[in-house]
Structure 1
Amino acid sequence: MFTKTTILSLLLTTSAVFAAGPPPELSDPFLDKFVGDWRVERKMGKGGVKQTSVHCEWVLNHQFIEFHYGPADAKPEYEAFVFIGFDEAAKTYVCHWVDVFGGKDSELGRGKIDDKLLAIEFKFGNGDLTNKFTFDSKTKIWTSLIHQQEKGEWKTFAEEKWTRK
């Protein structure tokens, strides 16, 4: 049972958090380059190349950039919502990847930007996954290289090439 002191402490803490309000908008020139509509060519492992669309925009008080995979596709084979933001306390990027495969493989990814590369790591029980986004400032093209660990060995899961629509 809660004591009066516990309840008062919770109320004061909650009030202080809400009084502070949300943080200022995230200003990130690297992530800004994702904003817009993209045509994405995806090669899965040893399979063929598939086309999809991705729409990216800032959401939630400019705290996250949202990727929507498949919004312009008539019948998308794959659809996902991806949210990338910055954890100021940990000084790392966070990535929430939610897709048609459901909650079983939904993990929080963490990463850092190193010059022209955003590398996000996901820790799964059956093997880790890394997604490295690279931006070519001359061609204005994004590439994404996804590696997955299977039985201790790293393998290419997918390669993507993003061009503006």
Structure 2
Amino acid sequence: MRVALNIVSLFVFWVAVLSSVAQQASVDGPKHILHDELLENMLGSWRLNGKIAGRQVEHTVDTDWVLNHQFLRLHEKEVATTDKLPYEAIVMIGYDNASERYAAHWMDIFGGRFSETLGYGKRSDSQIEFVFEYPDGPFHTIFRWDVGSQHWQWLMRQKNEAGQWTDFADATLTRPKE
């Protein structure tokens, strides 16, 4: 009788442990869709104007929720002003509940080699700062929401050869005029 009681107790213990592990593992998944009031402000169509890599640019940016509301998809495309290939990117922004951080996959016309590094971001008030750890050094991308003017600032910074932070891009997203 005592052996049977010990076996039942051990069984109940393992069921409780495994149940706890299963609950922890399901922090993310299809039933935990992303609801983010800051990213909600980025939905829709935008015009991006500013400097990227030292030159003045104008891009269109369209955003929507995709993949069961797990990711905000940004489709950025340069407004062609020359005969060169216009810049285009698709950015997928999601949230990792287990790590309590955002994840961004930036895919663009430069191909797979340059798109293999994920960016990880933390939110602070009305901005998310992503850090991409590229082989040639860190790259920071900050999405900052200005609630008063209802626009976004995108600031991208990288370290130069001397190890100093420099601006790669400083651009503003505004709603297109109707």
Q: State the shift of 1:110 in Å.
A: 0.1
Unmatched runs of 5 consecutive residues or more in structure 1:
1-15
**Identical columns (%):** 37
What is aligned with 1:57? 64
CA distance in 1, matches of 2:145, 2:29: 33
Given that residues 86 and 94 in structure 1 are in contact (C-alpha distance below 8 angstroms), is that contact kept between their aligned partners in structure 2? yes
- Any runs of at least 4 consecutive aligned residues in structure 1 with deviations exceeding 6 A, and if so which? none
State the 1:153 CA deviation: 2.0
Which residue number corresponds to residue 26 of structure 1? 34
TM-score by length of 2: 0.76
Conserved 8 A contact 1:126-1:150: no
**Structure ID, larger Rg:** 2
Question: Which one of the candidate residues 66, 70, 94 is aligned to 2:77?
Answer: 70
Tell me which amino acid in the other structure corresponds to 1:103.
Answer: G
Q: Tell me whether 1:100 sits opposite 2:109 in the alignment.
A: yes
Q: Is the 8 A contact 1:133 1:144 kept in 2?
A: yes
Indicate whether 1:155 and 2:166 are aligned: yes
Shift of 1:150: 2.3
Query: Cα deviations across residues 50-85 of structure 1 (Å, max 9, x unaligned)?
Result: 1110000000000000000018x4686110000001
Could you tell me whether the CA contact under 8 Å between 2:80 and 2:86 is conserved in 1? Answer: no
Aligned residues: 146
Could you state the TM-score of these two structures normalised by the residue count of structure 1? 0.82
Matched, 1:121 2:131: yes
Aligned-residue RMSD, C-alpha: 2.1
- Which segments of 5 or more consecutive residues in structure 2 lack a partner in the other structure? 1-21
